[in-house]
Structure 1
Amino acid sequence: MPGPDAEAAKPSPERATGVAGRRPTVLVLGGTAEANDLVRALGKRFPDHRLILSLAGRTRAPSLPEGAEIRIGGFGGAAGLAAFLRAEAVGLLVDATHPFAAGMARNGAKAADVAGIRRLKLLRPAWQAVDGDRWTEVTCLAEARDALPKGARPFLALGRQHLSPFFSRGDLAPLARMIEPPDPPLPVGWTLVLSRPSPDWRAEAELMRAHGASHLVTRNSGGEASYAKVAAARELGLPVVMIARPAVPEGPVFETVEALLAAVGRRSDLATE
C-alpha cells in the first residue's frame, strides 16, 4: 500500500492545471513570424493547454495562427500585465515580440517577476555585416537621422511609427515604405510606397534603383524575412545606416523556436523549471 510520501508525490488537480478547474495556460507576447510559429508548435506539443497570443494591434489585418486565443491591445504597463497573468492563471510567459519592442520586453520581465511565473525570451539572431556591406552602426533613430549627408535620398525601411525624427531634415528626400497609409500624411518631398517587404533581394534592389535611393536606413531586426533589403543595398553598393538593437532584460533567451521548445520540455506543469 502506498505510503504518505507516495501520495504527496502525486500531482494535485491544482498543480496540474495551475488553478483548480483550469487548463495550464501559456501567454505568448507576439507580433512576429516567430511568435506565430511558436504558437503552432506549442499547440502540437501541448494540445490540452490554453494558448493566448497577445498582439499590440498596430497592424489592421495581422497574420494569425490557428489554435490560440487572440488578445489585441495593451495591458496597462507591467502592473496591468501582472494582473492579467494572475487573473488568467498563466503558468508560462513567452516574450516573442519584435527585437525593438523594448518597452514590452521590460514590462513582460517585470510582470513575470511580480506574478512569480516563468518567462522565456524568443529572439532571432541579429544581422552581421559581411564583405561588401557599407554599414554605419548607430544606437537610435536620432543618430540615424544625423548620420545622413545633406541632400540624401534615403530609403527609410523603418515602419510608420519611426519616421518622425526625420521630419526635421528638410534637406532630405526620403523614400518610405509601409503596409498601411500614415496618419498624418508624410511631409512634402517624401515618396510613399505602400507594400510589404519582398523576400527577394532583386525586387528590393529594383525598388531602390527605381526611386534613386542613396542610402538604406533600417533597424537590425534580424531574421531572413526582411533581410532582402540589406542584401539589395550590398549588391547596389549603397551605404546602410544600421540601428542597433536595444538591450534585452536578463533571463533565458533562445534564438529559435526549436531551442525554446527544448527548454520548455514536455511537462504538463509549465509554472516551474
Structure 2
Amino acid sequence: MSRNRLAVIQQKILSGLYVLSPLQVKFIKKADLTLFLRDTLPDCPDIMLGTGSDPDMISVVMPEKEDLLVLMGLSLMLFRLSHGRLPKDGYRLENLVDSFYYDLQQMGKVDRLYRLDLMASLRIIPISLILDKVKPFVGDGSVYKLISSFLFLPIIDDNGNHRSDISFGGMPPVGEITRVLFNIVLMDIFDREFPKRFPGIAFSRFINEVFISTRGNDEVIFDEKAGYALLEELSLAGKIVSIGSGDDPLPCYYRKILFLDSDSKVHVCNPIEYY
C-alpha cells in the first residue's frame, strides 16, 4: 500500500469518515486448510478460524484488506493504552505469553490448581459493556466510533447471505482486535473482582485462560462451586477443571501443558517434554 493511500486512510479515521466493510466468511475443507492459509496469510495475517455443525469444514472470518490494516492499528493502540507499553514485536497479545508462563511457575507449591476457560463469555458479553470499558482509554471521538462500528459489522458469506450464526454475539470473531477488546473487558471485570472475592489466592490470566492455585492455609476457600458462583455474579461464562499432584496435565495457552510435579510445584512445558 502506498504512503499516499495510508495518509488518506489515516485522515479518514481522524475525521470520523472511515467506513469499515462487512466481514467476509469462507468455508474451507479441513483437508484444504493448509493450502488456503499459505495463500491467504501473507496478505491477510489476522483472521479467525472456527468450526460449525460440519466437522469436515472450517469457517474463516476475514476483514477487507484495507480494514485489516485499520484493525491491526486499533489492536496495537489498545494494547499500548491498556498495558502502558508497546509489544516487543508485532502487535499481538502473544508478546505477553512468556511472562504468563513465568507467573504460573512462580506459583510454586500448591495443593490444587484450577483452570478456568472464559471463552464462552465471548458469546454473552453485550456490545454496550465492551464500549463502556473501552471509552476510558479512547474517549468518545472518532476512534471510539470506529470501534463501535466494528462491533456491529455484519458477517457475509460468498453468496451475500448474512451469517449471524458465525458471530460470537457482541464480539465479532476477527483475530487480534477481538482478543484485545475481550482482554480489556476481563481486565476490568475479572481481574479487578477476583482479588476482592478471594483475597490471598494467586491467579494468572492470559486472555480467556485463568489458572488459580489454592493451598491448605488459604484464609478463603476457592473451588468449582465458588468459581461458578463468581462467574454468575460477574455475568460471565466458563468451564472450570482442576488437578492435584500426580494428575494428568491441563492444557495451557499456545499448545503448552501445565502440571504439578511430585512436590506439588507448578510447571509449564511442551507436551513432548512431559510424555
Higher normalized helix content (fraction of residues)? 2
Normalised by the length of structure 1, the TM-score is 0.26
Decide which structure has the larger Cα Rg and report it. 1
